[in-house]
Protein backbone atom coordinates (compact mmCIF):
# COMPACT_ATOMS: atom_id res chain seq x y z
CA UNK A 1 0.00 0.00 0.00
CA UNK A 2 1.14 3.57 -0.37
CA UNK A 3 2.38 5.07 2.89
CA UNK A 4 0.23 7.89 4.20
CA UNK A 5 1.09 11.00 6.19
CA UNK A 6 -0.73 12.44 9.19
CA UNK A 7 0.68 15.91 9.91
CA UNK A 8 -0.50 17.43 13.18
CA UNK A 9 2.61 19.58 13.61
CA UNK A 10 0.79 22.82 12.92
CA UNK A 11 3.75 24.21 11.00
CA UNK A 12 2.80 27.30 8.99
CA UNK A 13 4.73 26.24 5.85
CA UNK A 14 2.98 23.82 3.50
CA UNK A 15 5.37 20.91 3.07
CA UNK A 16 2.97 18.71 1.09
CA UNK A 17 5.19 18.59 -2.02
CA UNK A 18 8.29 17.53 -0.05
CA UNK A 19 6.30 15.04 2.00
CA UNK A 20 4.72 13.57 -1.13
CA UNK A 21 8.17 12.92 -2.57
CA UNK A 22 9.42 11.43 0.72
CA UNK A 23 6.39 9.19 1.11
CA UNK A 24 6.72 7.85 -2.45
CA UNK A 25 10.47 7.34 -2.03
CA UNK A 26 9.95 5.54 1.29
CA UNK A 27 7.36 3.20 -0.25
CA UNK A 28 9.54 2.49 -3.29
CA UNK A 29 12.68 1.98 -1.18
CA UNK A 30 10.83 -0.24 1.27
CA UNK A 31 9.57 -2.45 -1.57
CA UNK A 32 13.03 -2.63 -3.17
CA UNK A 33 14.87 -3.27 0.11
CA UNK A 34 12.41 -5.94 1.26
CA UNK A 35 12.75 -7.64 -2.13
CA UNK A 36 16.55 -7.53 -1.78
CA UNK A 37 16.31 -9.50 1.48
CA UNK A 38 15.25 -12.46 -0.65
CA UNK A 39 12.25 -13.09 1.61
CA UNK A 40 9.73 -10.97 -0.27
CA UNK A 41 8.71 -9.95 -3.76
CA UNK A 42 7.38 -6.53 -2.89
CA UNK A 43 5.69 -3.92 -5.02
CA UNK A 44 3.80 -0.71 -4.33
CA UNK A 45 0.08 -0.80 -5.03
CA UNK A 46 -0.63 2.60 -6.63
CA UNK A 47 -2.83 5.03 -4.70
CA UNK A 48 -4.99 5.52 -7.81
CA UNK A 49 -5.89 1.80 -7.80
CA UNK A 50 -6.86 1.95 -4.14
CA UNK A 51 -8.89 5.13 -4.58
CA UNK A 52 -10.75 3.56 -7.49
CA UNK A 53 -11.30 0.13 -5.92
CA UNK A 54 -11.67 1.15 -2.25
CA UNK A 55 -12.88 4.75 -2.06
CA UNK A 56 -13.92 4.35 1.60
CA UNK A 57 -10.54 2.87 2.60
CA UNK A 58 -12.14 0.08 4.66
CA UNK A 59 -9.76 -2.67 5.76
CA UNK A 60 -11.69 -5.53 4.14
CA UNK A 61 -11.67 -3.78 0.78
CA UNK A 62 -7.95 -2.97 1.02
CA UNK A 63 -7.15 -6.60 1.84
CA UNK A 64 -9.25 -7.75 -1.12
CA UNK A 65 -7.50 -5.28 -3.44
CA UNK A 66 -4.13 -6.65 -2.32
CA UNK A 67 -5.36 -10.25 -2.85
CA UNK A 68 -6.49 -9.37 -6.38
CA UNK A 69 -2.94 -8.15 -7.05
CA UNK A 70 -1.60 -11.55 -5.93
CA UNK A 71 -0.29 -10.46 -2.54
CA UNK A 72 0.03 -12.77 0.44
CA UNK A 73 0.95 -9.92 2.79
CA UNK A 74 0.12 -6.25 2.73
CA UNK A 75 2.14 -3.43 4.28
CA UNK A 76 0.19 -0.59 5.85
CA UNK A 77 2.16 2.42 7.00
CA UNK A 78 1.41 5.87 8.32
CA UNK A 79 4.00 8.51 9.11
CA UNK A 80 2.78 10.87 11.83
CA UNK A 81 4.51 14.24 12.04
CA UNK A 82 3.69 15.67 15.44
CA UNK A 83 6.24 18.49 15.45
CA UNK A 84 9.10 19.93 13.44
CA UNK A 85 11.50 17.29 14.76
CA UNK A 86 9.38 14.35 15.90
CA UNK A 87 7.92 11.80 13.49
CA UNK A 88 6.59 8.31 14.04
CA UNK A 89 5.89 5.42 11.68
CA UNK A 90 3.06 3.05 12.40
CA UNK A 91 3.98 0.01 10.33
CA UNK A 92 2.03 -3.22 9.88
CA UNK A 93 2.36 -6.30 7.71
CA UNK A 94 -0.92 -8.17 7.57
CA UNK A 95 -1.87 -11.53 6.10
CA UNK A 96 -4.32 -10.71 3.29
CA UNK A 97 -6.36 -13.87 3.92
CA UNK A 98 -6.83 -13.54 7.68
CA UNK A 99 -6.26 -9.81 8.20
CA UNK A 100 -4.00 -10.65 11.15
CA UNK A 101 -0.80 -8.72 11.76
CA UNK A 102 2.38 -10.69 11.16
CA UNK A 103 4.51 -7.63 11.97
CA UNK A 104 3.64 -4.52 13.91
CA UNK A 105 5.89 -1.66 15.00
CA UNK A 106 5.57 1.94 16.04
CA UNK A 107 8.93 3.58 15.36
CA UNK A 108 10.01 7.12 16.17
CA UNK A 109 12.51 9.16 14.22
CA UNK A 110 13.88 12.66 14.54
CA UNK A 111 14.09 15.25 11.82
CA UNK A 112 11.97 15.93 8.78
CA UNK A 113 14.79 15.60 6.24
CA UNK A 114 15.50 13.23 3.36
CA UNK A 115 18.30 11.67 5.40
CA UNK A 116 16.10 11.11 8.47
CA UNK A 117 13.36 9.48 6.39
CA UNK A 118 15.94 7.24 4.67
CA UNK A 119 17.41 6.12 8.01
CA UNK A 120 13.91 5.36 9.28
CA UNK A 121 13.16 3.23 6.21
CA UNK A 122 16.45 1.33 6.56
CA UNK A 123 15.74 0.65 10.24
CA UNK A 124 12.20 -0.50 9.43
CA UNK A 125 13.48 -3.02 6.85
CA UNK A 126 15.93 -4.38 9.43
CA UNK A 127 13.10 -4.75 11.96
CA UNK A 128 10.97 -6.69 9.48
CA UNK A 129 13.93 -8.89 8.47
CA UNK A 130 14.85 -9.58 12.11
CA UNK A 131 11.25 -10.42 12.99
CA UNK A 132 11.22 -13.02 10.21
CA UNK A 133 14.43 -14.55 11.58
CA UNK A 134 13.15 -14.69 15.16
CA UNK A 135 9.95 -16.46 14.01
CA UNK A 136 11.98 -18.92 11.97
CA UNK A 137 10.20 -17.96 8.72
36 and 28 in contact (C-beta within 8 Å)?
A: no
28 and 45 in contact (C-beta within 8 Å)?
A: no
Is residue 100 over pLDDT 80? yes
Looking at residue 137, what is its pLDDT? Answer: 53
Task: Read off the pLDDT of residues 57-90 as tens digits, 9 standing for 90 and up.
Answer: 888 898 998 998 899 999 999 999 999 999 999 9
Is residue 136 over pLDDT 60? no
The percentage of the chain sitting over the pLDDT mark of 90, rounded to a whole number, equals: 74
Cα atoms found within 13 Å of the Cα of residue 90, Cβ hemisphere only: 9
Is residue 135 over pLDDT 80? no
**More reliable by pLDDT, 136 or 26:** 26
pTM, to two decimals: 0.90
Is residue 42 over pLDDT 90? yes
Length of the chain, in residues:
137
Looking at residue 134, what is its pLDDT? Answer: 59
Looking at residue 110, what is its pLDDT? Answer: 96
31 and 123 in contact (C-beta within 8 Å)?
A: no
Amino acid sequence: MPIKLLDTSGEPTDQAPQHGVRLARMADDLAADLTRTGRYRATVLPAAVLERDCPTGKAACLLEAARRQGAALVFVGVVHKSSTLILQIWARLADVHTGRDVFSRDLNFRGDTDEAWQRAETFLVAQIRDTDRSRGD
